[in-house]
Amino acid sequence: MSALGAPSSAVPLPAGIVREAAGPEQVVLVWGAGALDALMGGLAEAGNLPLRLTPAETPEMIEVSGAPALLLLVDVDLLDDTTVGTLDVVRAMAPQTRVCVLAGAGSGANGLLRALRAGLSEVVDPHDEQAVAELLAAQVGRSGERVLAVGAHPDDVEIGAGATLLRHRSLGHPVSVLTLSRGAVGGHREDRRREAVGAAVAMSAELLMGDLPDTRMEDAPDMITLIEGVIATVRPTTVYVHSSADNHQDHRAVHRAAVIAARRVPQLFCYQSPSSRNEFAPTKFVAVDATIHEKVGVLAHYRSQATRHYLEPDLVVASARYWARQLTHTLYAEPFEVLRASEQATV
């Protein structure tokens, strides 16, 4: 057993919730094949972390790895003017990248000096399994931001917060979507499940689905317990849910249950729905210039709902354009009511 405790998936999902899509594992890029073997010891020491160590030695390899380079480990002996230049390219591609230099007792001072001059001050000894384990565990986000978005029906979360969830993902925050029904009233169950999976995969999000009775969620027993169970598994730091200012009875029921279930989650925000009332009163606006068009692509997965006007791309984009008037230097924004927020915004 690792000194760092149980892996993040230690708490099983509650009965009645199915994981329909797994979120992607995180990729840690290792520059310097010689260091990879040594690092595996640290990965083993850290326990069953959902991440993969991948050798990548050029910006192109980092790009094709399909993951934002959130942690890049560089062998100190490889640092020269060319590689330092390459690191600059990587950081321009993925500004959130954390670069850590691999150096041990036997490493020469020249490489370390070069690292310092390049602004790389984080150093870990690849043979120090405990130090590597701690670095990797921190990377998985044990103390970092984790997001859970809760909706009554397939497509609710994506319509209300899709671009913001994509922004979380681009910052490396793991995102889970909990959809409490299969949306059987609005279409064929299996079609809607498949569409929801497609949308989750497009957002690089985990998809958890319940099977509460569509349009009759107010009568569903134990919805609070169900959401509490998911929160125990996902351990979110931020929860997004329906607003209470909503004409749909299921949305209001999910709002009420989630507010209670998420009482210990540091941040709790409510998103807008097509059925929101005018009383919806957002005070938080997330700039989504970089992800609004990707959101349109995510919504396109809901083909069975294509006749619904609120999924029309120009309406989705125009709504975000409208809310951006609350921010400066922003073209597109998504609005949220704030039920609870940390001092420091995470998106």
- Based on CB atoms, which residue is closest to Zn ion, 156 or 206? 156
Question: What is the three-class DSSP state of 37?
Answer: helix
CB of 308 to Zn ion, least distance (A): 11
Is-contact 277 321, C-beta < 8 A? no
**Interacting stretch for Zn ion, rule CB under 5 A, among 152-160, 212-220, 233-241, 317-325?**
152-160
CB of 63 to Zn ion, least distance (A): 37
242: phi then psi, degrees, rounded to nearest 5? -55, 155
# residues contacting Zn ion (CB under 5 A):
3
DSSP code of 247? S
**Residue that has been written with the tokens 């797994």 in this structure:** 22
Q: Does 193 bind Zn ion (CB under 5 A)?
A: no
**Interacting stretch for Zn ion, rule CB under 5 A, among 49-57, 127-135, 155-163, 165-173?**
155-163
Q: Does 156 bind Zn ion (CB under 5 A)?
A: yes
CB of 85 to Zn ion, least distance (A): 50
**Interacting stretch for Zn ion, rule CB under 5 A, among 4-12, 91-99, 146-154, 310-318?**
146-154
Pairing type for strands 333-340 and 284-287 reads: antiparallel
- Based on CB atoms, which residue is closest to Zn ion, 7 or 186? 186
Dihedral angle, C-alpha 229, 233, 235, 238, nearest 10 °: -70
Q: Is the dihedral of CA 233, 224, 177, 287 positive or negative?
A: negative
Cα–Cα separations (whole angstroms), residue 79 to 92, 107, 118, 199, 213: 18, 12, 9, 41, 59
**Interacting stretch for Zn ion, rule CB under 5 A, among 47-55, 68-76, 151-159, 187-195?**
151-159
Q: Quick one: tokens of 58?
A: 């050029």
Site string for Zn ion, 106-145 (x = CB under 5 A): ----------------------------------------
Q: Chain centroid to CA 68: how far?
A: 12
- Based on CB atoms, which residue is closest to Zn ion, 153 or 192? 153
CB of 264 to Zn ion, least distance (A): 26
- Based on CB atoms, which residue is closest to Zn ion, 27 or 257? 257
Residues 14-73 that bind Zn ion (CB under 5 A): none
Burial class of residue 144 in the structure, from the number of CB atoms within 10 Å of its CB (0-12 exposed, 13-18 middle, 19+ buried): middle
CB of 9 to Zn ion, least distance (A): 28
What gap in Å lies between CA 104 and CA 7, rounded to an integer?
28
Burial class of residue 279 in the structure, from the number of CB atoms within 10 Å of its CB (0-12 exposed, 13-18 middle, 19+ buried): exposed
- Based on CB atoms, which residue is closest to Zn ion, 152 or 165? 152
**Interacting stretch for Zn ion, rule CB under 5 A, among 89-97, 134-142, 153-161, 314-322?**
153-161
CB of 253 to Zn ion, least distance (A): 11
Q: Quick one: tokens of 258?
A: 């989630």
CB of 156 to Zn ion, least distance (A): 4
Question: How many CB atoms are closer than 10 A to CB 342?
Answer: 11
Q: Does 152 bind Zn ion (CB under 5 A)?
A: yes
CB of 31 to Zn ion, least distance (A): 46
Question: What is the three-class DSSP state of 206?
Answer: strand
Question: How many CB atoms are closer than 10 A to CB 95?
Answer: 10
**In which element (H, E) is residue 272 found?**
none
Q: Which residue is nearest to Zn ion (CB)?
A: 153
Among 114, 146, 153, 168, interactor with Zn ion by CB under 5 A:
153
- Based on CB atoms, which residue is closest to Zn ion, 156 or 228? 156
Residues lying near Zn ion in the complex (CB under 5 A) are found at: 152-153, 156
